[in-house]
Chain A
C-alpha cells in the first residue's frame, strides 16, 4: 500500500468551500451566478458569462450518466498506487454539467451511457469526497 497521502481540497478557498460544506451533508451543489443565473462547473471566482462575482450554491440531483471514463492501471501518482486499477469517470449530471470523479465498482462493468449516482465518502471530519457508482 502506498504511504503517500492522497490530495485533499483546500477548504479555505472561498470559491469552492461551499461545495465541500454541502458534501459533508451528503448534498451535491453547483454554483449559479446571482447576477445572470448561469450555472457552471468547475467553480470560478467570477461568472464567465456576466463577468460578475457572486454565486448561490444550488443543490442538484446527485445522478447522471457516464460520458466517458479512463481506467488507470499504472500509478501515475503514488498516492493512488493502492487503488489500482481505478476508474476516473466523466459524469454528465442530470442538470447538464460534467464532473470528473472516481468510479466505485468493478472497472469491467463500466460503459458509456450507463446511469450513475453519487456516493458521498467521508475521509476525515472535514472532507467528504464525491465518488460515483453505476445504478
Chain B
C-alpha cells in the first residue's frame, strides 16, 4: 500500500467544455469529442497549437475515441499522446497531472465523446468480471451487482428503499435547475417508490440514463494557469486504488477499498470530509452514491440511509451531491460531466443551481468493482 503522502500536485484545470447531452444521432464519438474540445479550448482562451499533450478516453464497448482516431480531427501532433480504455475524467485527469509533472507536456487536452444512446450500445453484458460465470447465472448489467450490494446494505444496517430513493430524488431536484439535463421532470419520493423494480431493490431511477454527449478539459501547471485564466481550478489532492483481484477480494460488492482512496486523497490535500463543500460521486447506480457517502467519511459506515433521508444532499442541504443531476438525471457521459459541473460550481458559473461560497469539491469516481480515483479541487491553490 502506498503511503500517498505528497505535496499538492500544482496542477490546474483552465478549460472545460461540453456538448449538449442526450441524443446526438448524426455524429461519431470522435466528432462529439472534437466539439467538446473546441469549447474547452475557447474556455481556456488558448489555440490548439498550445496543446502539447492529448489524453483521449475510449467510448466504452467500442473502438472509438483513440488518440490516433482523434489526431486527424483535432489537427495536432502533441508531444505526448495516449488513450485510456477507462479514462472517465478522474483517471484521465490524474494521467494529465502525471504527464505535466514528469515534464512530458505542459498543456494537456483531455477528451471524451460517446454516442452510446444513438448507437444502441448494449450495456447488458455481465459486469464485474468473471463474465462467463455471471452470464450463466443471468447476472447481467451493473444493476445486478448493485442490487445485491443494496440488499446487503439493507440487511446489515436497516437501510430502506425509501432512504435509497433519496439519492435519485435529490439529484432530480438538482437536474430541474440544469437546462442540460436529460431528465428534468419532477420526481417525488412517492413517485420513486411507485416505479416498478428493474432488479429489486433497484428501480429505473436508480440506474443511469444512457445518453450521447462529450466533454473536454485543458489541464496545465498551476504556475502557468495563473497567467492563462482568471479562475483556474487547482488539484489539491489525488488518490487511486484498484481492486482488480475482483472476485477474490473478501468483500467485492461493498467496496471497502474506497475508504483507502478517501484516506489518501484527504491526506494529500491536507483536508477532511468536513472541508468538502460539494461532492461529485459517480452514480452509474444510486448504490454507488450510498456507498461513497460512507467511504468518503460524510457519515459513518451504515449511516448513509438516514443521511440521505435527512436531505443533506438536496438543494439547500449541507453536502450538495451531483448538483447537475449526475448520471441518474443529467446524462451518462461516464462521470465526465461531474468534473465539468465541479469546475462550473467552483468558478461560480453554475447559474440557478450555484451553491453559495463553494470553494472545495470532491470528485470521486469508480470503475465499478475494479478501480477508483478521487480528486479534491478548489479555486484556492493550496489547502
Q: Is the CB of A71 within 8 A of B197?
A: yes
Q: Is the CB of B253 within 8 A of A90?
A: yes
Contact residues in B for A74 (Cβ distance below 8 Å): 197-199
Q: Is the CB of B151 within 8 A of A70?
A: yes
A48 with B140, Cβ < 8 A, contacts A70-B199, A70-B200 known? no
Q: Across the two chains, which residue of chain B brings its CB closest to A112? A: B155
Out of A71, A76, A90, name the residue touching B200 (CB < 8 Å).
Answer: A71
B63 on the A face (CB < 8 A): no
A68 with B152, Cβ < 8 A, contacts A73-B196, A76-B124 known? yes
Stretch at the interface among A26-34, A51-59, A97-105: A97-105
B138 on the A face (CB < 8 A): yes
Q: Is the CB of B137 within 8 A of A42?
A: no
Question: Among residues 105 to 121 in chain A, which have CB atoms less than 8 Å away from a CB atom of chain B?
Answer: 107, 112-113
Question: Among residues 196 to 254 in chain B, which have CB atoms less than 8 Å away from a CB atom of chain A?
Answer: 196-200, 245, 247-248, 253
Question: Among residues 159 to 218 in chain B, which have CB atoms less than 8 Å away from a CB atom of chain A?
Answer: 196-200
Q: CA–CA, A113 to B152, complex, Å?
A: 10
Q: Is the CB of B247 within 8 A of A98?
A: yes
Q: Is the CB of A88 within 8 A of B138?
A: yes
Q: Is the CB of A72 within 8 A of B144?
A: yes
A40 on the B face (CB < 8 A): yes
Contact residues in A for B155 (Cβ distance below 8 Å): 68, 112-113
Q: Is the CB of A102 within 8 A of B196?
A: no
B141 on the A face (CB < 8 A): yes
A122 on the B face (CB < 8 A): no
A9 on the B face (CB < 8 A): yes
Total A-B pairs, Cβ < 8 A: 91
**Separation in Å of the B286 CB from the closest CB of chain A?**
14
Q: Across the two chains, which residue of chain A brings its CB closest to B154? A: A112
B307 on the A face (CB < 8 A): no
Q: Is the CB of A76 within 8 A of B141?
A: yes
Stretch at the interface among B13-21, B44-52, B93-101, B128-136: B128-136
B59 on the A face (CB < 8 A): no
B139 on the A face (CB < 8 A): yes
Q: Is the CB of B140 within 8 A of A90?
A: no
Q: Across the two chains, which residue of chain B brings its CB closest to A78? A: B124
B281 on the A face (CB < 8 A): no
B143 on the A face (CB < 8 A): yes
Q: Is the CB of A70 within 8 A of B147?
A: yes
B325 on the A face (CB < 8 A): no
Contact with B along A2-20 (1 / 0, CB 8 A): 0000111110000010000
Q: Across the two chains, which residue of chain A brings its CB closest to B130? A: A42
A83 with B138, Cβ < 8 A, contacts A9-B132, A41-B247, A48-B248 known? yes
Binding site for A on B (CB under 8 A): 124, 130, 132-141, 143-145, 147-149, 151-152, 155, 196-200, 245, 247-248, 253
A-B interface, 3 closest residue pairs, ranked by CB to CB distance from nearest:
A70-B147, A71-B200, A68-B152
